[in-house]
Amino acid sequence: MGTIRETLREALGRERPLVTPLAHDALSARLIEAAGFQAVTIGGSALLAARHGLPDIGLVGLADMVAGIRDIATATALPILADGDDGYGDVKCVARLVESYEAIGVGGILIEDQRRESKQQRADKSAAVADEATIESKLRAALAARSGRDTMIVGRTDAFGVLGLDAAIRRAERFANLGADGVFVAGLRKPEEFEKVGRALKGVPLLSAAMFEGGDSAWLTPAELGRMGYTQVSFPTALIFRAAAGMHAALAQLRAYADGRQDLPPLADYARIRGVMDECVRLERWRTVEASFAAAGTPRA
């Protein structure tokens, strides 16, 4: 793209807390950038649903994630915080993960302790986590493998659903003490849980919070989370759920129209949406290239 990607640390310095929607493909990444966000998160659940129609329960490996993340990274110049799951193997696999992610432009990598063979999509539903020695070895391997401090290594613990909140906080504190640039205690649902984690881990450069919609999950504003000490907030389902809901409703209407059961008027906002799409795919840029060079003819042999 010819644009130098800013580091995640720089984005954290410009917006507190740093709000990062989840991109699930190149188009969503372009839309996130156009909307004025300063960085983007790439999570396994949204990416795998959009790209493969699969749940995030340990069905894919490093190559699948690299391929999907590369599509997104190529489409945007925003700093990227990406899900690295459990590293897809032992410590040498973690080192390869870091090298592979850095090569495609990822500036922050989350390494988690949820055990791959029993992986669940929601941390509060996690069935098992790796022992502390295993996850800490993986984090040390990740820190050693990175090319420089511009790449942020984030320790994620899913221990809350298995061992309780105090145990999860202890793990996160250990992650920070061994040198991780950030921590994420996953599975929090109640405001008092967010407050407790924020107090315990305040001061960590990248302290992540995730806001999920529905059920009994707290719906806190970025400002509220910032006051609690969080420096980065993601919204894992906000984009992919709304996109799926829109497509589901549109297809139901189209099916009813095809069956003659109801009318389907043309999209009232067509012109604006067409313009948004054209901007996202950089249509004018390609038209300019076409106009500048296509008339020159082909080179002579």
**At residue 235, does pLDDT exceed 80?**
yes
Q: What is the pLDDT of residue 1?
A: 44
pLDDT computed for residue 215 by the predictor: 80
Same domain (yes/no): 127, 275: no
Q: How many domains does the chain have?
A: 2
110 and 179 together in one domain = yes
Check residue 300 and give its pLDDT.
Answer: 52
Hey, how many other C-beta atoms are within 10 angstroms of the C-beta on 152?
23
Average pLDDT over residues 257-285: 95
- 273 and 140 in one domain? no
Residues 271 and 218 in one domain: no
- For residue 97, being part of any structural domain is answered with yes
Whether the pLDDT of residue 273 is over 70: the answer is yes
Residue 258 included in any domain: no
Q: Which alpha helices (H) appear in the chain, and where do they start and end?
A: 8-14, 26-34, 44-52, 62-75, 91-103, 132-145, 160-163, 165-177, 191-201, 222-228, 238-258, 270-280, 283-293
Q: Rounded to the nearest 10 degrees, what angle do helices 44-52 and 62-75 cross at?
A: 90
Cut 0.75: pTM above it: yes
251 part of a folded domain: no
Q: Are residues 102 and 239 in the same domain?
A: yes
Q: What range does the domain containing 54 cover? A: 8-243
Residues 150 and 63 in one domain: yes
Question: How far is residue 278's CA from residue 296's CA, in Å, rounded to a whole number?
Answer: 26
| 124 confidence band (pLDDT: 50, 70, 90) | confident
**Does one domain contain both 132 and 182?**
yes
| Assigned domain for 112 exists | yes
285 and 179 together in one domain: no
Chain segment 78-102, per-residue pLDDT in tens: 999 999 999 999 999 999 999 999 9
For residue 249, tell me if it sits in a domain.
Answer: no
Do 37 and 156 have their domain in common? yes
Rounded to the nearest 10 degrees, what angle do helices 26-34 and 270-280 cross at? 100
Helices 91-103 and 132-145: crossing angle, nearest 10°? 40
Task: Check whether residue 62 and residue 140 sit in a common domain.
Answer: yes
What residue type is 203 in one-letter code? G
232-235 and 206-210 strand pairing:
parallel
pLDDT tens by residue, 18-52: 999 999 999 999 999 999 999 999 999 999 999 99
Question: 257 in a domain, yes or no?
Answer: no
- 208, 228, 243: which is the final residue of a domain? 243
In a domain, 301, yes or no: no
CA distances to 65, 98, 131, 144, 299 from 114, rounded to whole Å, are: 17, 18, 10, 22, 57
290 in the same domain as 222: no
Note whether residue 206 is domain-resident. yes
| 220 and 83 in a common domain | yes
Cite the DSSP H helix spans in 76-190: 91-103, 132-145, 160-163, 165-177
* Whole-number Å distance between alpha carbons of 119 and 41: 20
